[in-house]
Chain A
């Protein structure tokens, strides 16, 4: 981890996977990521898998951050 170029953070999101396979009618509204390159990233405070609070601002001036938003972490999807 010391040699890592970036501190990697993974935000795991488990969607309502049952709905994905539903035959019910559904419509999508694709929301583009509203952030743009050059914007200041909004700070966040989230709980890690070790139940510790992690803030984006913890890395300010120390490390670059690679934030991966990961969906369907447990499903192989």
Chain B
């Protein structure tokens, strides 16, 4: 898992304007069930798979996309846009 220092270098490199978070002890990845297990030569390893998750203002999961399709953020972005429209209409 990338450290905050490694993320800072990456954020600077590509001018990211949102927080890059580190899950060094895999707590969040575990609680969200995002870790994928591999067995290599009798050793077990786990690492995260790609995932996009949209959580609304009330903390409710509104969208989950995982694996290769999560490389494209467009579906998650349209969920965000729809959420924003619904919330603005209230």
- Chain A residues in the interface with B (C-beta under 8 A): 1, 4-16, 19, 22, 24-44, 46-52, 54, 56-57, 59-71, 73-74
Bound CA span A26–B44, Å: 10
- For A31, the chain B residues whose CB sits under 8 A away are 33-37, 49
- Chain B residues in the interface with A (C-beta under 8 A): 1-2, 4, 6-8, 10-11, 16-24, 27-29, 31-41, 45, 47-64, 66, 70, 73, 76-77, 80-81, 83-84, 87
State which of B8, B70, B81 has its C-beta within 8 Å of the C-beta of A5. Answer: B81
The 16 sampled A-B contact pairs (Cβ below 8 Å) are A9-B21, A10-B19, A14-B6, A15-B47, A16-B47, A22-B40, A26-B40, A31-B34, A33-B53, A37-B61, A49-B19, A49-B22, A60-B59, A61-B58, A68-B51, A73-B7
Dominant secondary structure at the B interface: mixed
Bound CA span A61–B87, Å: 11
Contact B52 A67 (CB under 8 A): yes
Contact B41 A24 (CB under 8 A): yes
Shortest Cβ gap from B58 to chain A (Å) = 7
**CB within 8 Å for A35 and B80 given contacts A1-B18, A15-B48, A22-B40:** no
Bound CA span A9–B11, Å: 12
- For B32, the chain A residues whose CB sits under 8 A away are 33-35, 41-42, 69
